[in-house]
Amino acid sequence: MGETIRKGAAVEDILADGKTTLTKAQARGGDWQTSAEARLAPTLALATSIDTRILAATAAAAPALAALEAGNHSADDLLGRISDDVWNAIGRPASDVAYDILFPGGFAYYAEGDVAEQPDRMDMLAELLLSSVHPRLAAERAAALAAELNASSVALRALVDAARPLRARVELANKMKTAVAHAAQIALSNLKRAWKADGKSEADIHSVIPDRPRPRKTAAPGAPLVASPSAPAST
């Protein structure tokens, strides 16, 4: 027996099956076309409209996202350099607890993670440098490094703020497309059910709706694929 596409399938695959089904049903005409257009056409039209929205939102966001990526890279480089500068300034110790307090696990704590929160992490490092956590780091040097961090965090925060609403539009448009794909999957399942109720054969239906058989479950490593038959009783 054939299967319609699963609801957990990729969005593009679901919508492609919907378009294929509509095209083939329209080619057949009659009640094939009527049923498919009633159940699929409005949803697929929405998908086309949302694709246009996604393209527009992506194009609008591209410059801001590229600027944010470049700014993030520059801020990461600065963090790496400052961690090296502090290590050199305190005599390049093999182990130093005060340095580890400033850079727990290295500068990656400040550079990795959500870029939207990185300016705040950079500001915290600047505060630590100014609080004289390390007794061998000269106050003047600490203040100079903190000033660099503050300037970089201000610049990065501005890029984050500029990109945030544009990125949100792209994310929303993609969520909308996922919702439409979910509706299209339900429409395909209902369309098959309706055609079966009309007396159409399974084979005929899946000459229009793409057949998406479920993957077979594989046996655990070392387990027999089928149970061994019992040995015949001796006579």
Neighbours of 7 (CB within 10 A): 12
Q: Residue 170's Cα: distance from chain center in Å?
A: 12
Q: What is the pLDDT along the chain (235 residues), one digit of tens a residue?
A: 789 999 999 999 999 999 999 999 999 999 999 999 999 999 999 999 999 999 999 999 999 999 999 999 999 999 999 999 999 999 999 999 999 999 998 999 999 999 999 999 999 999 999 998 899 999 999 999 999 999 999 999 999 999 999 999 999 999 999 999 999 999 999 999 999 999 999 999 999 999 998 776 665 555 554 444 444 444 3
pLDDT at 234: 42
3-class DSSP state of 64? helix
6: left (phi over 0), alpha (psi -120 to 50) or beta: beta
pLDDT at 71: 98
Asked whether 204 and 31 are in contact (CB, 8 A), the reply is: no
pLDDT of 32: 97
Tokens 């040995």 sit at which residue? 231
Separation of alpha carbons 146 and 128, rounded Å = 9
- Contact criterion met (CB below 8 Å) for 76 and 111: yes
- CB neighbours of 198 closer than 8 A, spacing ≥ 6? 31
Write out the two tokens for 8: 């957990």
The reported pLDDT for the residue numbered 89 is 95
**139 burial level (CB within 10 Å; 0-12, 13-18, 19+):** exposed
Among 135, 55, 69, 138, residue whose Cα is nearest residue 99:
135
- End-to-end, the C-alpha distance of the chain in Å comes to 43
Q: Do the Cβ atoms of 53 and 177 come closer than 8 Å? A: no
The DSSP letter of residue 115 is G
Q: Whose CA is closest to 160, among 118, 116, 121, 119? A: 116
